[in-house]
Structure 1
Amino acid sequence: MEGAAVALKRFLEALIAACFAVWAVYWILVPLGYGKRYMAGVDTDMTSKFMGAPGSVFIFQAAPILLAAILSFVVIELRKRTPSDRILRREGPSLKLKHAMHAVVFARSPLGVLTVIDISFLAFIFSLVLWSFAKSSYVEVRDVNRSPHITGAPANWTIDFVEISVNLARSALIPFALLWIPVTRGSPLLRVIRLPWEHAVRYHIWLAQIALSLFAAHAATFIVFFAANHQVKHVFTWRTSPGAAVICGFCALIIGLVMWLTALPIVRRKQFDLFYNIHQFYVAFFILFACHVVSAVYYVAIPVLLYFIDRFIRLVQSRKNVEILKARLLPSGAVELKFLTPPNFVYHPLSVVFVLLPSVSRLQWHPFSVTSSRLDKKSELSICIKPIGGWTRGITDIFSGRKVHRCPFSFKASLEGPYGDEADFYLNYKTLVLIAGGIGITPFLAILRDILYRYKMNQEGLPEVINLFYCARKPIDLAILNTLDPRDILPDFQSIVKIRIHAYCTSTTIADYPASLENKPSGTVDLETYGGWSFVYAKPTFEIQTQAPDIQGVSLLSAAGSSVWVATTIVAAILGFMVLWGLANVIFIHHNEAHYKNYKESVLFLASAILAVVVCGGCVILLWSITLSRADASQGMCTSGCKGLKSTHVRRSNLQSPNHDLESAHRSPWRGDLHLGLRPNWNEVFDQLTKHYDGQEVGVLVSGPDNLKSDVAQECGHHTACRGAVNAVFHFHSVSFEL
């Protein structure tokens, strides 16, 4: 039975790949004479008034992506019912195809760390775009120049500009259709290829930049045409002339360029709120895009509908108020929050949840890595928040009592997710090297918990050696390690799995160190020997625990939740859209209308899409929600609305004074070393790792800033490629997320 399931899974995976091949073949065939004739024949045979879209576009653009999405859910369910795809370890290191595709090619580039699969993706997109644009433009410009010039008609070179401009816009539809997939957080297409949503965001950025560049060039060439023929007034008219509402296109381009500028790293990192709020104008961009040339919407209709279905499910999930089960303020200022989860709530160590705290801000959502493990059977999900911005500092101020709100603080939150890597690929390695910078330690706390619980469950084939390199600015920042005490999971863990911590405090300012270390502002000390000091293993300063009789937990209604319910929602919404749009075509749209045809069609198209998602998809979600409510009631969980937790429902415990005795904290269970006032020399670190793990495949996971990832990726490539086949092979994985 398992063999049949594995065979079916592989067949469906091949079918999904074939769907995208069909999607790409369309763009290859259209510029060719044979391809044009073939697509024209398909349009003649398939196009109907009810369908609206040309038959070739529906068959080769919409249908393949929709079919791939539905089949992806089947593959996801089959993976849960088949044996784990563990990599078979060998005595000597080997570069298998899967590892080779993730091998680092450029550790330092304007686009960050680039792997083989990244470069392959970019090469595929650029090749498809260049072929579509260059071949179509060459053929059409050639035909224009061969035709005799008609007296009074625009000059041939200006007509050439029109043909080039139209082909720029047509080729821009390739990246524009795809850029919606990476930002669909629960996308089955991302899950089936095991591409975590937070990693796929960079693909969205690349596709958006390519699309906007082509749209900008399209606008520029049309402006040249209008200027050369003294028709600049056409740029500012709302009439559809000819076939496009020009002013809508320019307005859409302006919005798109503003979104692009505010999404640049220099703006996004310093003004995240500005970036996030401006990016919500994507709705206005798409509406104006549809009004500009409504026929182009058919190329992107299915990816856009999948995105909006995902967005609607997220909206429904976030409407549920979730109580904060426990909050702890660490000496470093970081806050640990815990939430209740249902018994069958599934998440992974590299999962990410989006959190909104209404008492801090009613609009701002922020992503956080989970630090807990679902294997602990506690039905809790925890995150750690470091005060590095206005929103996060506001959380610390509230929980520490430094900030008093106008009304009593409510221990409520809204959560979306979880999303993230479902492969647990780190279990494939006998030796793991975890490298974290700052708050990037959080996903590794979850990985350590997961591995320890798996050992407790007597699972086999787990990592046997783990080296954690943690770079923090101040010694007190290391207190986040206190959120995980491995002895609580496995009292004798040190005899079962070798975990060694290499902590680096990078600040060289003596004021950042405890008084007892002022005579050692730089150097190395033994972590376990000096583990009693609070800067290594400090207790939380206080904790707050909810004591309400009913605790509202995280909702199971998630865009990455039940495959059956999500797939049913998608099918209902897509079928509803087709019916509504077909009826709109038959009843309201007359295709011989003149100047304002685009506006009427685009409004009806958008209305059909919204009604389909909200009504047709919403009915399925309502049934899903009712089913979950009944399950919660049978399990004795809170199903009623949140009544608001005030101070009477909260217990606050002061665990220690901010000026606690340095020797009063518990002894650290971690073995390793603490480097004071030093930064790691990664070349030396990997030299040592190569000697220690000769002949092994080593998984290197990095979570932290871009420069840290680039440094480590460079050393992984250097020590793997230049040391011969007898030494260790380092497989680089970036597990940090960036929006």
Structure 2
Amino acid sequence: MSRRGYIAAADHTLACPLLSRPLPIHRSIRSRCKFTTESVAEMAVSSSSPLAAIRLLIGIVFLGWLLVWIMMPTNTYRNIWIKKVRTHTNSTYFGRQGTNLLIYAFPILFISVLGCFYSHIMLQTSESRKTGKYSRRRRRSEVWRRPVIVKGPLGIVSAVELALSLMFLALLLWYLSMYLRNGFARITPEVAKENGEKVWQSKLESAGLRLGLAGNLCLAFLFFPVTRGSSILSLAGLTSEGSIRYHIWLGHIVMILLTAHGLCYFVYWGSTNNSSKMLEWATDHISNVAGEISLASGLVLWATTFPRVRRMMFELFFYTHHLYVVFLVFYLLHVGIPFFSLILPGVYLFMVDRYLRFLQSRRNVRLISARLLPSETVELNFSKSPGLGYTPMSNVFINVPSISSLQWHPFTVSSSSNLEPEKLSVIIKKEGKWTQKLYQELINPSLENLNVSVEGPYGPVSVDYERHDTLVMVSGGSGIAPFISIIRDIIHRSTTGSATPKIVLVSMFKTSADLTMLDLLLPLSGKVSDLSGLKLRIEAYVTREKAPGSEARKQIRNVWFKPNPSAVPLAPVLGPNSWLWLAAVITSSFVAYLLLICILTRFYIYPIEQRGATYSYTWRALLHLLFLCTCIAAVSGAAVLWNKKQSGMEAKQIHIVDNSTSRSRLSSCFDDGSDRELESVPHGSLVQATTVHFGGRPDLKKILLEINGSSIGAMVSGPSGLRRDVASICSSGLGNSLHFESISFSW
């Protein structure tokens, strides 16, 4: 990119994204609304609540920020708006960066902090709300959530996702077309001749610049979906695992645009006999070499993200994906800190989240026990702090240093924090290399304990499955894991006398040995003594056998681990009030960063530039990066240390399980063993609720359409083909009361 190209790019500043869809009233609130006299009064109170005030303020800030974003590529913004703003913000304390921080960084960070307060209030009030009937307003909103695209490279796409994707593409096309039109309008034969170029060469250089600006626009959105503890995602009703495909889509668009950006400049330099610029690292403006290094690292990363490569060589994908650090650092050195400030909010929030995850991962979490099933499936039970709450369908990332010190793998939480306040469970199926090594370690008779680190759990702030009067859960193989957490949570609700939906669980397994996964519906603790209040029906299908196999007669093995003195219960990294602490960390660290760059600019850089010299762009960028990392590390570390002391005091009070019975064998509910050590009453109810079918697959269309109810939640978890089948039935219009929800993980 040439120097005049950078000046144009700095004038046509970009913004980072916030919410890619309108701010709706939260699902758990809307789903509980009743159109009665009492509900009208409740809605009136709700409209004046702090949640409504926060939503209104966020909406105003977001719309203002969005207006500036839409106007960015226009001449009005370039010639009028930005000049007026810079007259008030281009100070000796911030320089040109002050304008970009004010317009683009501050609104997003402000909304993020407000989102933390919003999520905190949601957590405090969600348990006190009562479940209401399915409202007409909710029914209208469900129409937008129905899948409209079932087959294709994008997977299952709902109506609202399709609409928002088209809106984003329209914005991208508007952004690029307006930049190209305004840029080409200034290129005339006379102007090109003055620069010693042909018209097509000048237009090629201009097009390359504008492609880079469009790529930067998408890059601003790129890190929001992978910020696992993001308050912005929770504001939009999204989770990180549900938003990962948006990250994939944006990543492809970013690399296409930035690759085209680089190719345009390579051709431009070659045609104008300026190939030496490819090796230029200027100190008074942007660095071409840094941009080339950034693009090269991005291309290597991009090549390993395609589905076939990712599935066949996951370790290669995992390790090369860490090149994002190289990509970002050299991108910063390429464009300079003023222009990098345009994508700073997304990157900044990701850095805060990533460092907090790093601090949490340094802890060795206490592993209490493991249930080894004949199907080579494992349930790991971790000790956790009672103050750590999570919702069903949450997930954690697990690292076992004895297998790999670098690899982290995501698993769905199968336990309920309400039913088991001092335990967290995950289900792991022996499939890939990593899980095979883990299973081999667990079946070792001499194993006494296992060092494990955990990040998370991550999940939605609240769940709204209770808005349906019937839940149909369709799973394939280990896809039953998220449904186990929901069923355990509903079991807890049934024991407290709360209204619970009917449950129809349709599970498909390859062999009869996999049927033992149904045993995991009940926790190992034995706290469940009665399932009479649970309206559960299980339809289990064994697809590859026509009769029970010998593997089904094998017993479940329960392994208890000795306490590890260095291991601690799993606890929230920022304590029970984690959202409030996150708001404090974001605010304090960014204010500290602003103070440091004020001091740097006013008392070091400004005197140098006053003498007529130009301070190095590279050193300025590196100093800003150093300040940014230092502030995040210092503030986050202090917050974690403070909460670590509190959680350490709580950990001393947690009961340690007696490990005198280190290993035992348990009979499955689905064999005829007579020495069952588990509670007989709940397991008897579980067996009575289960019907096993051999040698075939379920007729999903018949099952879904035969279920009666005013609101039927169709939830599916498993292979992509299974999700497409259920989505096709729900989108066919044959069942108006069917509401589709896919649970998939594309990490």
Whole-angstrom CA distance in 2 between matches of 1:250 and 1:549? 49
Whole-angstrom CA distance in 1 between matches of 2:106 and 2:228? 21
Say if 1:257 and 1:513 are closer, same or farther in 2 by CA, change over 3 A.
farther
Given that 1:342 and 1:554 are in contact with CA atoms closer than 8 Å, whether structure 2 keeps it comes out as yes
- 1:260 maps onto 2:302 in alignment: yes
Choose 374-383 or 327-336, whichever is displaced more: 374-383
Whole-angstrom CA distance in 1 between matches of 2:365 and 2:68? 47
Given that 1:469 and 1:503 are in contact with CA atoms closer than 8 Å, whether structure 2 keeps it comes out as yes
Whole-angstrom CA distance in 1 between matches of 2:671 and 2:350? 54
Matches within 5 A, 1:224-243: 224-239=267-282, 243=285
Provide the residue aligned with 1:563 in structure 2: 579
Say if 1:560 and 1:600 are closer, same or farther in 2 by CA, change over 3 A.
farther
Residue 336 of structure 1 deviates from its aligned partner by 1.2
- 1:583 maps onto 2:599 in alignment: yes
Whole-angstrom CA distance in 1 between matches of 2:539 and 2:675? 20
Matches within 5 A, 1:137-156: 137-145=180-188, 147-151=190-194, 153-156=196-199
Residue 502 of structure 1 deviates from its aligned partner by 1.3
Choose 288-297 or 79-88, whichever is displaced more: 79-88
Residues 313-342 of structure 1: per-residue CA shift (max 9 Å, x gap)? 111111111111111211111111111111
Provide the residue aligned with 1:166 in structure 2: 209
Provide the residue aligned with 2:697 in structure 1: 679
Provide the residue aligned with 1:526 in structure 2: none
Say if 1:426 and 1:670 are closer, same or farther in 2 by CA, change over 3 A.
farther
Say if 1:486 and 1:212 are closer, same or farther in 2 by CA, change over 3 A.
closer
Say if 1:587 and 1:656 are closer, same or farther in 2 by CA, change over 3 A.
same
Whole-angstrom CA distance in 2 between matches of 1:601 and 1:447? 51
Residue 118 of structure 1 deviates from its aligned partner by 1.6
Given that 1:503 and 1:674 are in contact with CA atoms closer than 8 Å, whether structure 2 keeps it comes out as yes
Say if 1:595 and 1:476 are closer, same or farther in 2 by CA, change over 3 A.
farther
Whole-angstrom CA distance in 2 between matches of 1:560 and 1:105? 40
Matches within 5 A, 1:406-417: 410-417=449-456
Residue 409 of structure 1 deviates from its aligned partner by 6.2
Q: CA RMSD in A?
A: 3.0
- 1:507 maps onto 2:544 in alignment: yes
- 1:423 maps onto 2:437 in alignment: no
Provide the residue aligned with 2:65 in structure 1: 23
Provide the residue aligned with 2:35 in structure 1: none
Matches within 5 A, 1:458-473: 458-460=497-499, 462-463=500-501, 465-473=502-510
Whole-angstrom CA distance in 2 between matches of 1:627 and 1:652? 31
Given that 1:540 and 1:656 are in contact with CA atoms closer than 8 Å, whether structure 2 keeps it comes out as yes
Residues 38-58 of structure 1: per-residue CA shift (max 9 Å, x gap)? 112111221123223444422
Residue 654 of structure 1 deviates from its aligned partner by 4.2
Residue 6 of structure 1 deviates from its aligned partner by 5.3
Q: SS in structure 2 opposite 1:280?
A: helix
Whole-angstrom CA distance in 2 between matches of 1:587 and 1:148? 41
**Which of 485, 500, 511 is residue 474 of structure 1 equivalent to?**
511
Q: SS in structure 1 opposite 2:395?
A: strand
**Which of 495, 498, 504 is residue 456 of structure 1 equivalent to?**
495
Say if 1:672 and 1:30 are closer, same or farther in 2 by CA, change over 3 A.
same
Say if 1:697 and 1:595 are closer, same or farther in 2 by CA, change over 3 A.
same
Provide the residue aligned with 1:122 in structure 2: 165
Residue 606 of structure 1 deviates from its aligned partner by 1.0
Provide the residue aligned with 1:89 in structure 2: 133
What is the TM-score normalised by the length of structure 1? 0.87
Q: SS in structure 2 opposite 1:376?
A: coil
Say if 1:558 and 1:706 are closer, same or farther in 2 by CA, change over 3 A.
farther
Given that 1:327 and 1:335 are in contact with CA atoms closer than 8 Å, whether structure 2 keeps it comes out as yes
Matches within 5 A, 1:325-336: 325-336=368-379
Given that 1:23 and 1:60 are in contact with CA atoms closer than 8 Å, whether structure 2 keeps it comes out as yes
Given that 2:385 and 2:421 are in contact with CA atoms closer than 8 Å, whether structure 1 keeps it comes out as no
Whole-angstrom CA distance in 1 between matches of 2:565 and 2:621? 51
- 1:599 maps onto 2:618 in alignment: yes
**Which of 644, 651, 661 is residue 625 of structure 1 equivalent to?**
644
Given that 1:419 and 1:560 are in contact with CA atoms closer than 8 Å, whether structure 2 keeps it comes out as no
Q: Paired residues, what number?
A: 689
Residues 363-390 of structure 1: per-residue CA shift (max 9 Å, x gap)? 2111111111112245111111111011
Residues 404-455 of structure 1: per-residue CA shift (max 9 Å, x gap)? 8xxx764221111110123221111100000111111111111111101101
Choose 581-590 or 437-446, whichever is displaced more: 581-590
Residues 623-661 of structure 1: per-residue CA shift (max 9 Å, x gap)? 23233334445x3679xxxxxx9xx97853241699x98
Provide the residue aligned with 2:154 in structure 1: 111
Q: SS in structure 2 opposite 1:288?
A: helix
Residues 30-73 of structure 1: per-residue CA shift (max 9 Å, x gap)? 22222221112111221123223444422321111011001101
Given that 1:105 and 1:114 are in contact with CA atoms closer than 8 Å, whether structure 2 keeps it comes out as yes
Q: SS in structure 2 opposite 1:70?
A: helix
Given that 2:146 and 2:730 are in contact with CA atoms closer than 8 Å, whether structure 1 keeps it comes out as no
Given that 1:185 and 1:197 are in contact with CA atoms closer than 8 Å, whether structure 2 keeps it comes out as yes
- Runs of 5+ in structure 1 lacking a partner? 516-533, 639-644
Given that 2:448 and 2:562 are in contact with CA atoms closer than 8 Å, whether structure 1 keeps it comes out as no
Whole-angstrom CA distance in 1 between matches of 2:346 and 2:403? 34
Q: SS in structure 1 opposite 2:585?
A: helix
Given that 1:22 and 1:60 are in contact with CA atoms closer than 8 Å, whether structure 2 keeps it comes out as no
Provide the residue aligned with 2:92 in structure 1: 49
Say if 1:728 and 1:128 are closer, same or farther in 2 by CA, change over 3 A.
closer
- 1:222 maps onto 2:265 in alignment: yes
Given that 1:87 and 1:428 are in contact with CA atoms closer than 8 Å, whether structure 2 keeps it comes out as yes
Q: SS in structure 2 opposite 1:435?
A: strand
Provide the residue aligned with 2:590 in structure 1: 574
Provide the residue aligned with 1:641 in structure 2: none
Choose 177-186 or 30-39, whichever is displaced more: 30-39
Given that 1:322 and 1:414 are in contact with CA atoms closer than 8 Å, whether structure 2 keeps it comes out as yes
- 1:484 maps onto 2:521 in alignment: yes
Given that 1:486 and 1:669 are in contact with CA atoms closer than 8 Å, whether structure 2 keeps it comes out as no
Whole-angstrom CA distance in 1 between matches of 2:374 and 2:449? 23
Residues 180-219 of structure 1: per-residue CA shift (max 9 Å, x gap)? 1111110111122220110011111111111111111111
Say if 1:233 and 1:401 are closer, same or farther in 2 by CA, change over 3 A.
same
Choose 661-670 or 315-324, whichever is displaced more: 661-670
- Runs of 5+ in structure 2 lacking a partner? 1-40, 677-683
Say if 1:25 and 1:240 are closer, same or farther in 2 by CA, change over 3 A.
farther
Provide the residue aligned with 2:742 in structure 1: 734
**Which of 399, 408, 417 is residue 374 of structure 1 equivalent to?**
417
**Counterpart residue identity of residue 358, structure 1:** P
**Which of 487, 497, 510 is residue 534 of structure 2 equivalent to?**
497
Provide the residue aligned with 2:663 in structure 1: 653
Residue 489 of structure 1 deviates from its aligned partner by 5.8
Whole-angstrom CA distance in 1 between matches of 2:621 and 2:746? 34
- 1:198 maps onto 2:236 in alignment: no
Provide the residue aligned with 1:280 in structure 2: 322
Whole-angstrom CA distance in 2 between matches of 1:670 and 1:389? 34
Residue 150 of structure 1 deviates from its aligned partner by 3.3
Residues 650-698 of structure 1: per-residue CA shift (max 9 Å, x gap)? 853241699x986557665242432222122333333xxx2331x5211
What is the TM-score normalised by the length of structure 2? 0.86
Given that 1:326 and 1:338 are in contact with CA atoms closer than 8 Å, whether structure 2 keeps it comes out as yes
Q: SS in structure 2 opposite 1:374?
A: coil
Whole-angstrom CA distance in 2 between matches of 1:632 and 1:409? 21
**Counterpart residue identity of residue 555, structure 1:** A
